[in-house]
Structure 1
Amino acid sequence: LALLRKQPGPTQQSHLSAADAVSRHLMESCRGVRDALESAHPDGSWLAAGPIRPGIRSCYERDIFRVGNAAGESHPVVAEGISMALQSGWLLACELACAPDGRAGREAAGRRYEAAWKKLFSTRVYAAAAIAGIALRPGNATLMAAIIRNFPQALTLGAQLSGKTKPVPGFV
């Protein structure tokens, strides 16, 4: 990214934002991206997605059910966000489908959903935090890349240890 930022762009800027550098790199190196976006033009500067707040939150509280990042957010370094969002939505749908009508039924479904969510995802959230803590320290990203390059089975082991390979109940 640092090298991409230093390369002069179409406007000969000496320093680009990370978003501009990545966008330019994708347009220059990916024909599909270029074909899809060549007629698009930015309407101002890139917006950040917001703060990353990894952690586990309440999945159900006062008749409100939470899925995806609202229920718990893993660090983006493990690329689990959309997967966890879809899987947690499935878990919630399964619990609500068999819940009796009324608030008491929703509360029981909420307790079951929260327990199932934590069983399925809590290890992933904690593992992602640990991996991010290691990977984001100076020099460690290079070390991790060397480990994965030389021992690719480390990715499978990491997925198993974090719970990423656990089946989602009711989804087979």
Structure 2
Amino acid sequence: MRGPALSLKGRALRYLSMREHSRLELGRKLARYAEEGDDVNALLDFLEKNNWLSQERFCESLLNRRSARFGNNRIMAELQSHGVNGEALAGLKAGLADSEAARASDVWRRKFGTVAADAAERSKQMRFLLQRGFSQRAARVAMQGLEETFGDHDDA
């Protein structure tokens, strides 16, 4: 036998206790259970006012979960799909740009480990990194094993 049905607020708090959600994502989930007279936007405003729903925490959580496996392009696209945009998105992108080559190198090293001998294998490795959302520059640097010199422009 099932327990009593959760209120919209109870359902929202249960979702937020499992992981951070964006306002857009939580609104979509709650809209399925909203009944006549329920105001989902008012509930979301209440949750934000009490700091139970936070865009900053959601962004940090998503970055922590995704940055070890994916590149900037993929992470930015996912953040945009969750309704994060504007200044917050620009700030996050700037913070990720510094570490993209090192993250691409880690992903490349875990998957392949050795420099490709022929053009077909190099293409395969490059496509893998590009599909993960890394920039061409970061992918090229990772495949050459030069992540330490990615930011250095004195060598030219």
Q: Normalised by the size of structure 2, how large is the TM-score?
A: 0.26
Structure whose residues are more often strand by fraction: 1
Higher RCO structure, 1 or 2 (CA under 8 Å, sep 6+): 2
Structure whose residues are more often helix by fraction: 2
